[in-house]
Amino acid sequence: MRTTNWQMFRFGLVYFNSQTSIFLIPIIVTDAGYQGWISVLIGSALSLVLLFFMIHVGKLKPGQSWLQFGGQYMGKWMHSILVFLLLGWCVYYASYDIENFVLFFGSNYMRGTPPLFIQLVIGIVIAYTAAKGLTTIVYMADGVFLLLIVTTFFSLYLFLPNANFQMLPAFIHYFDPGTTIKSSFAVSSWFSEWVVFLFVAPELKINTNMLKKLLLAELVLTVLVLAGWALTMMNFGPHLGKDLQYPYLDMVRSSSHDDIMGNLDPILIGIWSASMFIHSSFMIYVASKCALYLTKQKGKKLMIPFLTLCSVLIAFLYSLNISRYYNDFSSYSAVGVWLVVECIPVYYTMAAFIKSRIHKPAS
């Protein structure tokens, strides 16, 4: 695989932005209100801690996959349990992506279309992309990256004319420690999916250079989320902002511009869809690697279609009970589960440290 660390920067930004720019901002407005900027900064800082742990684990055995060497530190059975946990998380997360597609396109452009039809079509695209492997997914992110940055810039520009900048003092006058702490952990769960980046090895070496590029991706992502949250608050306020599902699209559609800038929503939807496909495909790719490890490389050809079908099935069950989906999607129980999985590199770092102390040669 001929991939550079700068490609990992672009891939990381596209991968995380597919979720945060669309779904995280309304959650921050709802949970944190005027304190949203504090939650974003703290949540981003917490995710950086997990990034450092991920890099450390990736450097334990350079040139080897975490799946292969993890058992040396955690023991075979515990390692298999954690691999299975990551497998289930990836499949479940991909089902969220699929259901998000159904809710958006089903309510805006494909009314009356059976959800299962949309889910199956999306599942086929995800399975096909995941089967192409990491190289294809990373190069897809390369193609989306520049368009993502340009359209995000213009979208934020559309927020400026009607923004109420007199609201700025309220951002520092309101402070509730309990709300801030809860919201910060929620934000960190969206920013901290670094564990899946262990699967770029051994195709790409995990080292300090990669750390620098991923740190830069995290910084850019934090700035974009802060800007999106602040402008959403200053345009819609804390009360109306809670009712928005897609702030960027709502702002573009309500824009007074009659030129191309006021008709960006089809472009935004296309770029968001592509970035979501990248996110989902990488999740299924990671899940397939975990499943093949657990089955000792059996069923290679059928594994990705099977796992994608599992995600489609979960999404279909959610489509039968939309209220359950919204409750699970935004609950703090889900935040807890997300953080347990995202902290997997922490467990291996601790195990490696304990093992190094136990087997430390006598001086």
Closest to 190 (Cα-Cα) out of 24, 22, 326: 24
Backbone angles phi, psi at 215, to 5 degrees: -60, -40
> What are the start-end ranges of the H helices in 109-207?
115-132, 134-159, 170-173, 177-191
**CB neighbour class for 61 (10 Å; exposed up to 12, middle 13-18, buried from 19):** middle
- At position 24, the amino acid (one-letter code) is L
More confident residue, 244 or 100: 100
| pLDDT digits 0-9 by tens, 302-327 | 999 999 999 999 999 999 888 888 88
Backbone angles phi, psi at 339, to 5 degrees: -70, -35
| pLDDT digits 0-9 by tens, 35-68 | 889 999 999 999 999 999 999 999 988 878 899 9
Place of tokens 């347990």: 340
Question: How much is the pTM?
Answer: 0.91
Euclidean distance between CA atoms 9 and 109, whole angstroms? 33
pLDDT at 286 over 60: yes
Euclidean distance between CA atoms 256 and 117, whole angstroms? 36
CB count in 10 Å sphere of residue 63: 9
In Å, what is the CA distance from 331 to each residue of 182, 319, 337?
11, 18, 10
Closest to 39 (Cα-Cα) out of 28, 30, 48: 28
pLDDT at 361 over 80: no
The top-scoring range by mean pLDDT among 151-165, 223-237, 286-300 is 286-300
Q: Locate 53 and state its tokens.
A: 């742990």
* Spatial contact of 90 and 287, defined as CB atoms under 8 Å apart: yes
| pLDDT digits 0-9 by tens, 345-354 | 999 999 998 8
Euclidean distance between CA atoms 22 and 25, whole angstroms? 7
Euclidean distance between CA atoms 264 and 268, whole angstroms? 6
Across the chain, which distance is largest between two alpha carbons, in Å?
76
Confidence class for position 2, pLDDT limits 50, 70, 90: low
pLDDT-wise least confident of 142-151, 186-195, 206-215, 260-269:
260-269
CB count in 10 Å sphere of residue 274: 18
